[in-house]
Chain A
Amino acid sequence: MISSTPSQLNRKVNHSGSGAAKKMGYSLLYLILIMVAVFQLFPLVWLFFFSLKNNQEVFNLPPLSLPMNPHWENYAKVWGAGNIDIYFLNSVWITITATVFTVVLGSLVTFAITRMKWKGSSFVLGLFMVAMMIPVHSTLIPLFNIFNKIGLNDHPLSLVLTYTAFNMPITIMILLGFYYALPKEVEEASVIDGCNVNRMFFRIVLPMTSSVIATTAIINMIYNWNEFIFVNTFISSNEYKTLTVGVQNFIGQYTTDWGAIGATLMISILPILIAYLFLSDRIVEGIAAGSVKG
């Protein structure tokens, strides 16, 4: 004790009590964490397992048994049947288009609000922020009616427009902090060099915000990819449906083939899981940034 270095002393003070108790405490903490992790992962593992089984195996083998001879053909079967491939491509292009619109428009607005001088900027910002508290369901009936009147019902543009509008607030919110922190000198220098605002924004500011743009883009993609109620309400023909609604319909028709259902669900969640595998830090950061600042 007497010869302890400060850091050792600190540690002893930190965890008063014997080493054994401390060890037990840590084991308990890990036990809690592992139990939560199992709870979070287990349904997905089970889903993956039954996506590789046929009905006989699903019904007769114990639920957690590994698929003995994995039926990868379940995946090939659902990909070819029931328009899943079409839904998948629709999801891809609608997700990407809406995300690009949201991020570009959101960046322009955020730049104008944070860096430019005009009356009403805080009011406009308020409009965007209040929109975050508005339940999408309360807009559904009029939107359906408006789109009906202007011929956008059953048209993918209705999805692109609604996704862009409803993701705008959170996008602006994530961008705000970053834009406020941009050094003013950059603008001053570029003005002295004779830049106009457009050039300054597109050539200097936008590239400087690329990291936060990546974060917002990923968050947007996750939301757009998973969106359900707008597609379900506005889109009726199979050629425009996205994966969430497509999966729902497909499963409605094949309620008994568990392998096919499992494979369909896996196909619909795999892109997100793969993206998460590579971009988890960005995604975590984006979700945290987008939610806490409110």
Chain B
Amino acid sequence: MDQVMSNKKVIALYVLPSLLLILGIVYIPILLTGYYGLNEWNGIGAMKFIGLDNYQALIQDSKFWNSAWHSLLLAVFSGLSLILYLIVAMVVSARIKGANLFRKIYLIPMLLSSVAIAQLWLRMYNPTNGIINSFLVSLGVSDPPAWLAEPSLVLFAIFIPIIWQYAGFYILIYYSALKNIPTSLEEAAKIDGANAMQIAWKIKLPLIMEVIKVTIVLSVVGSLKYFDLIYVMTGGGPNGASEVMASYMYIEAFKSYNFGYGSAIGFFLLIICLVVTWIIRKLTATKETIQYS
């Protein structure tokens, strides 16, 4: 038996194709990104090794810090919106009729491509005949804003479709976690006289803490590398007001042909994502895991 299950040839045959693929498509490119970042390179000609110059330039690049600030804002927004999702998930998971249907409806936007979502919301935000301003006008607002052309509003305007897109995803995750809590716990608390709020706050919340931590990491890291929707909706504009790290990297590399500099941004992005993941995990590490079975 052991002999059969430790057949080296078979193991190599089963593992190597995928392993080579992930090394070649993910890990080697990551290392190369770090290396390209040390070069001046327009993507076509020869690379010129310049050491840490790109990284130094990056630190002094106000446009980059602007984009990093926007990414951070999105991460904070997304982290905060988790509270909203959690509340809705608590409501959906209360034993009420139609919970399944609601949960399924909420998930629909998550299934669509960011391009379709971005294009759809571009029309929603259209200043003259988009649904949002049409609605505002019908409410009596005489001069509704041009949402995506307004530097002070554009980030908030982009954040609404992001909430729209991911609501169902996080509600689903919380819902699944809440459903895993044995009903006996809740019933025992009720007999002890706890009300719905107390049960939610003191029993359900601590029990799904692990899942909440995962969602915090997912949403924060997800926001840091957010790209598609912003790229399609505003291209980072107006005047960089909605530029984020990934879109700045993309524009530097594939539009301005600063591949070396773009790589430095890409590598920075990677480091930030890994560090932030690590910090969140550390901050939210539990000393003991709660067991219920």
Within 8 Å by CB of A128, from B22, B105, B191, B249, lies B22
Q: Which residues of B contact A64 (CB under 8 A)?
A: 131
Cβ A37 vs Cβ B119 within 8 A: no
CB of A70 within 8 A of chain B?
Answer: no
Cβ B88 vs Cβ A36 within 8 A: yes
CB of A210 within 8 A of chain B?
Answer: no
Interface hits, A99-133 → B, CB 8 Å:
105-106, 108-109, 111-113, 115-118, 124, 127-128, 131, 133
Cβ A134 vs Cβ B26 within 8 A: yes
A228-B15 in contact given A40-B164, A292-B214 (Cβ < 8 Å) = no
CB of B129 within 8 A of chain A?
Answer: yes
- Complex-state Cα separation, A30 to B18, whole angstroms: 47
Cβ A16 vs Cβ B195 within 8 A: yes
Interface hits, A128-162 → B, CB 8 Å:
128, 131, 133-146, 161-162
Cβ A141 vs Cβ B115 within 8 A: no
Q: Which residues of A contact B266 (CB under 8 A)?
A: 137-141
CB of B211 within 8 A of chain A?
Answer: yes
Interface hits, B1-58 → A, CB 8 Å:
1-2, 4-8, 10-11, 13-15, 17-19, 21-30, 32-33, 36, 43
CB of B103 within 8 A of chain A?
Answer: yes
Interface hits, B83-107 → A, CB 8 Å:
88, 91-92, 94, 96, 98, 102-107
Report the nearest B residue to A11, measured CB to CB.
B190
Report the nearest B residue to A17, measured CB to CB.
B195
Cβ A33 vs Cβ B91 within 8 A: yes
Interface hits, A155-190 → B, CB 8 Å:
161-162, 164-166, 168-169, 187-188
Within 8 Å by CB of A117, from B6, B14, B172, lies B6
Q: Which residues of B contact A139 (CB under 8 A)?
A: 25-26, 29-30, 33, 266
Cβ B36 vs Cβ A137 within 8 A: no
A248-B254 in contact given A44-B108, A168-B21 (Cβ < 8 Å) = no
Q: Which applies to chain B's interface (DSSP): helix, strand, loop or mixed? A: helix
A32-B131 in contact given A142-B36, A248-B119, A291-B169 (Cβ < 8 Å) = no
A288-B176 in contact given A135-B246, A141-B253, A226-B112 (Cβ < 8 Å) = yes
A241-260 interface code vs B (CB 8 A; 1 in, 0 out): 00111011001000000100
- Complex-state Cα separation, A261 to B191, whole angstroms: 57
Cβ A261 vs Cβ B173 within 8 A: no
A118-B253 in contact given A40-B164, A127-B27, A166-B26 (Cβ < 8 Å) = no
CB distance from B68 to the nearest CB of A (A): 14
Within 8 Å by CB of A244, from B103, B115, B124, lies B115
- Complex-state Cα separation, A176 to B273, whole angstroms: 25
Q: Which residues of B contact A26 (CB under 8 A)?
A: 96
CB of B150 within 8 A of chain A?
Answer: no
A23-41 interface code vs B (CB 8 A; 1 in, 0 out): 0001001101100110111
CB of B250 within 8 A of chain A?
Answer: yes
- Complex-state Cα separation, A266 to B232, whole angstroms: 17
Q: Residues on B close to A: CB < 8 A?
A: 1-2, 4-8, 10-11, 13-15, 17-19, 21-30, 32-33, 36, 43, 88, 91-92, 94, 96, 98, 102-116, 119-121, 123-124, 129, 131, 134-135, 164, 167-169, 172-173, 176-177, 187, 190-191, 193, 195, 211, 214, 217-218, 221, 224-225, 227-228, 232, 246, 249-250, 253-254, 259, 262-263, 266-267, 269-270, 273-274, 277
- 5 nearest CB pairs, A to B: A226-B113, A165-B25, A142-B32, A142-B29, A139-B29
Q: Residues on A close to B: CB < 8 A?
A: 10, 13-14, 16, 26, 29-30, 32-33, 36-37, 39-41, 43-44, 46-47, 50, 58-59, 62-64, 105-106, 108-109, 111-113, 115-118, 124, 127-128, 131, 133-146, 161-162, 164-166, 168-169, 187-188, 191, 196-198, 201, 222, 225-229, 233, 243-245, 247-248, 251, 258, 261-262, 265, 268-269, 272-273, 276, 280, 283-284, 287-288, 291-292, 294
